[in-house]
Amino acid sequence: MLKSCANSTINTEFGVFDIHIYVSADGKEQIVLTRGDVSAAEPILLRIHSECITSEVLHSLDCDCVAQLTLAFKKIDEANRGMIIYLRQEGRGIGLVNKIKSYELQHQGMDTVEAHEILGFPIDARDYSVVKDILEDRRVTEIIALTNNPDKIKQLSALGIAVIKREALEISPTATNRKYLSAKKTKMGHWLDLV
């Protein structure tokens, strides 16, 4: 059973959060932010967010990751209760080297799904199994998933996680990310009404 290795609080633009660091079996430091009593019976808002260093650190406008993360912070702050699990699986799980290779292929005209296929990866290589351990350790029983991704809900349910409801985190497309969002909608089935 995974246990948190360090716990404290952080002041953010969206108020104070408790922070818990877990080290998963692969040695990666997984980040968990919580607000309020997440172990109480009422389902919690939960954003399971996969690392996107290009948008979150490098200010890339080629995807919607940082905008979704920011919206999740806002929603949890407004509800004054919830959790963000930040998983260290860059590039839908293929890592930064392959993500940048994929970007280069996209500059040559492929979409994100075609680029992953050319590089020999599944469309989405993310793994959420660590989430179950984290939720158990924090004694969370039921969640409202903040996501546009039907596959994520399928995977969480398959892990035995009680997803009671979904709330969209939809961002208006921009000139630089419209093609990416369109591929997510048409090829990966993401629920994106604005694309």
| Active-site entry in 62, 64, 111, 124 | 124
Strands 29-35 and 142-146: unpaired
- Interface with Zn ion (CB under 5 A), residue from 34, 50, 55, 68: 55
In b/e form, how buried is each residue of 19-49, taking b as 16+ CB within 10 angstroms? bbebebeeeeebbbbbbbebeeeebbbbbbb
Taking the C-alpha atoms of residue 166 and residue 86, their distance in angstroms, rounded to an integer, is 18
- Residue 127 appears among annotated catalytic residues: no
Q: By rule CB under 5 A, what count of residues binds Zn ion?
A: 4
Q: Which one of residues 65, 71, 143, 144 is an interface residue with Zn ion (CB under 5 A)?
A: 65
Helix (H) or strand (E) holding 111: none
Helix, strand, coil percentages, rounded to 5, for the chain: 35, 25, 40
* Minimum separation from the CB atom of position 54 to Zn ion (A): 6
> By C-beta, is 44 or 63 nearer to Zn ion?
63
Scanning residues 21 to 40, which ones bind Zn ion (CB under 5 A)? Answer: none
Applying CB under 5 A, the span of 30-38, 63-71, 135-143, 176-184 interacting with Zn ion comes to 63-71
Nearer to Zn ion, 2 or 67 (CB): 67
CA 56/CA 65 separation, integer angstroms: 8
Residue 111: active-site member: no
Restricted to residues 111-140, the positions that interact with Zn ion (CB under 5 A) are none
Q: Locate the DSSP E strands across the chain.
A: 4-12, 15-23, 29-35, 44-50, 82-87, 142-146, 162-167
Asked if 63 interacts with Zn ion (CB under 5 A), we say yes
Check 81, 88, 126, 166 and give the catalytic one.
Answer: 126
Instruction: Please list the active-site residues.
Output: 124, 126
By CB under 5 A, name the binding residues for Zn ion.
52, 55, 63, 65
